Amino acid sequence: MVPSGPAPFRQPALHAAAGQPLVCLYVLDDETPGDWAMGGASRWLAASQPDRAGRKAESQGRHADPAPRQGGGNRAAIAEETGAESVTWNRCYEPFAVARDTAIKKVLTGSGITVESFKGTMLHEPWEIRTKGGHPFRVFTPFWNAMRQMAEIEKPHQAPHRMHFHDDVQSDRLADWHLLPAKPDWAKGFDWTPGEEQARTALYDFLDHIAGYKQARDRPDQDGTSWLSPHLHWGEISPRQIWHAVRARPQNEGAETFLKELGWREFCAQLLYHNPDLPTRPLDERFRKFPWRRSEKDLCAWQRGMTGIPIVDAGMRQLWQTGWMHNRVRMIVASLLIKHLGIHWRRGQEWFWDTLVDADLGSNAANWQWVAGCGADAAPFFRIFNPVLQGEKFDPKGDYVRRFVPELAGLSDRHIHKPWTAPTPPADYPAPIVDLGEGRARALDAFQAIKRPA
Ligand SMILES: Cc1cc2nc3c(=O)[nH]c(=O)nc-3n(C[C@H](O)[C@H](O)[C@H](O)COP(=O)(O)OP(=O)(O)OC[C@H]3O[C@@H](n4cnc5c(N)ncnc54)[C@H](O)[C@@H]3O)c2cc1C
């Protein structure tokens, strides 16, 4: 249950500015370099936030001007419009965001405006945790050990007594940003509720059963994880709030495992910070010459949840229908795409980027590289998930598959993860697009090719 009383405050930048008349600014930056402008699900979330959370939008929206990197963008324009003396924000760590914010800081400071940025979205700055030799970590366990040995995480602030807002600033109309998908409106089935209140509810619902997290977290047929990733990504809750809420409860195996997952989030962010081309370039250089297959047909079957492999199709349909996918299933679908189908991990990463409501550059890239075996601390390439065995182990009664693949609902538990073995396989469900044994053998051959010296 959510505790009564004021919530710990999640916004250090806002906290620092409270006391003066505030202009809260949301800048839609569509000029992101590379292919990393907000994906479709992220745009849906940005559009849905104020209405869906049932709250008055207190922030002013502005479309980023065409040259924010040179000109200082809207933050500078609005600072001038309102005569602001100071500008504060919570730091972002994506390479393009660092470049943008550094440039804006320079412009504002040059105009005599005080600028301060804060650590709001991470537990530690990505440059804080280093090996004894002073290098960024590439392996998770020593990173986590070092993180646990650091001073206890700062507590979140208490909410300021009062905040008053400068109400004389012109905002763009959210509707004019055309963020919602059309043709098709594939987000119409999303049952995701964004917002701060929902984030706190999710946290405290989860804390009531955190003790069983270690086992339940791998079961897509159960509600065993926190569902906090989109809230975290969008800053609707801070990791400091989560950390201290967990630490305030009895400590057990479940709680420690969960804190470790927050550690993975930090690990991924610092990998991206120190390797800005993480989304495009394998950390293991050998994989640059991996003989990837090109097959639009197979990629499309994977995206649409029509591979004929039930656990994979259930995951891909969960993603399309809800904007989210269970972590165990993310690993299974990624493994099938990369290994059995031999398709480049970047194609999968791009699809996730477009369709996940928690799409996050660091976590997405680091995890795709991890599954592909080319990332930091990655699972070795030759360890190839068998999706049938994974389904039988983690969705033993097939409840998850039945929920998202209704064509298979009538099959027995014995056949649900391998419908092709049923006496009468459902006529409206495809046969597997790949023979799992052959796909595996082909993947191992391809891997041998990059292991041979040139
Ligand atoms: C191929 C692939 C792509 C992924 N892409 C993303 C992504 O774009 N954005 C994203 O937030 N997560 C991503 N993940 C990690 C993970 O799947 C999600 O964070 C998790 O499923 C979110 O659900 P939850 O909040 O219920 O997780 P919980 O199990 O409740 O975990 C709590 C929090 O820990 C963090 N976390 C958990 N697992 C991981 C992990 N493996 N890596 C990094 N952080 C983790 C998340 O912030 C999560 O909210 C990806 C994983 C894979 C295998």
Q: Quickly tell me which residue has 């469900």 as its tokens.
A: 429
The reply to whether 270 falls in a domain is yes
CATH number for the domain harbouring residue 224: 1.25.40.80
Is 113 found in the same domain as 148? no
To test the pocket of ligand 1, the residue of 42, 358, 374, 377 to mutate (highest count of ligand atoms within 8 Å of its CB) is 358
Q: State the CB neighbour count (10 A cutoff) for residue 219.
A: 19
Q: Determine the pLDDT at residue 93.
A: 95
Burial of 71 (0-12, 13-18, 19+ CB in 10 A): middle
The reply to whether 183 falls in a domain is no
To test the pocket of ligand 1, the residue of 215, 261, 326, 328 to mutate (highest count of ligand atoms within 8 Å of its CB) is 261
Domain limit, last residue, from 213, 241, 276: 276
Is 263 found in the same domain as 240? yes
Q: Determine the pLDDT at residue 164.
A: 86
Q: State the CB neighbour count (10 A cutoff) for residue 410.
A: 12
Is 425 found in the same domain as 359? yes
Ramachandran quadrant class, 161 (left: phi over 0; alpha: psi -120 to 50; beta: rest): alpha
Is 145 found in the same domain as 65? no
Pocket of ligand 1 from Cβ distances under 6 Å: 217, 225-229, 232-233, 261-262, 264-265, 268, 327, 330-331, 334, 352, 356, 358-360, 363-364, 367-368, 371
Is 295 found in the same domain as 208? no
Domains held by the chain: number = 3
DSSP state of 336: I
The reply to whether 54 falls in a domain is yes
Q: Which domain holds residue 8?
A: 1-118
Residue positions counted in the chain: 454
Q: End-to-end CA distance of the chain: give it in Å, rounded.
A: 60
Domain limit, last residue, from 219, 252, 276: 276
Q: Compute CA distances 166 → 59, 87, 161, 163, 328, whole Å.
A: 10, 14, 17, 10, 46
- State in Å: Cα 363 to ligand 1 middle: 7
Is 238 found in the same domain as 377? no
Q: State the CB neighbour count (10 A cutoff) for residue 309.
A: 30
The reply to whether 447 falls in a domain is yes
The reply to whether 175 falls in a domain is no
What are the phi and psi torsion angles at 157 (to 5°)? -70, 160
Is 138 found in the same domain as 58? no
DSSP string, 269-293: HHHHHH-TTTTTS-SSGGGGG---B
Is 436 within 8 Å of 443 (Cβ atoms)?
A: no
Residue type at position 247: R
The CA distance from 130 to 142, in Å, is: 10
Q: Determine the pLDDT at residue 434.
A: 98
Whose CA is closest to 291, among 435, 447, 452? 447
Tens-of-pLDDT digits for all 454 residues of the chain? 787 766 777 789 999 998 888 888 877 776 666 667 888 998 888 887 654 333 334 455 655 543 333 334 567 777 777 888 999 999 999 998 998 899 889 989 998 999 999 999 999 999 999 999 999 999 999 999 999 999 889 998 888 888 888 877 777 777 888 888 887 788 887 878 888 899 999 999 999 999 999 999 999 999 999 999 999 999 999 999 999 999 999 999 999 999 999 999 999 999 999 999 999 999 999 999 999 999 999 999 999 999 999 999 999 999 999 999 999 999 999 999 999 999 999 999 999 999 999 999 999 999 999 999 998 887 788 889 999 999 999 999 999 999 999 999 999 999 999 999 999 999 999 999 999 999 999 999 999 988 765 5
The reply to whether 173 falls in a domain is no
Q: Determine the pLDDT at residue 19.
A: 85
Is 107 found in the same domain as 2? yes
Is 330 found in the same domain as 199? no
The reply to whether 221 falls in a domain is yes
Q: Determine the pLDDT at residue 31.
A: 66
**Active centre residues (catalytic):** 261, 264, 292, 327, 345, 368
Is 405 found in the same domain as 292? yes
Is 378 found in the same domain as 335? yes
The reply to whether 395 falls in a domain is yes
Structure tokens at 83: 């005569």
Domain limit, last residue, from 256, 276, 296: 276
Is 243 found in the same domain as 98? no
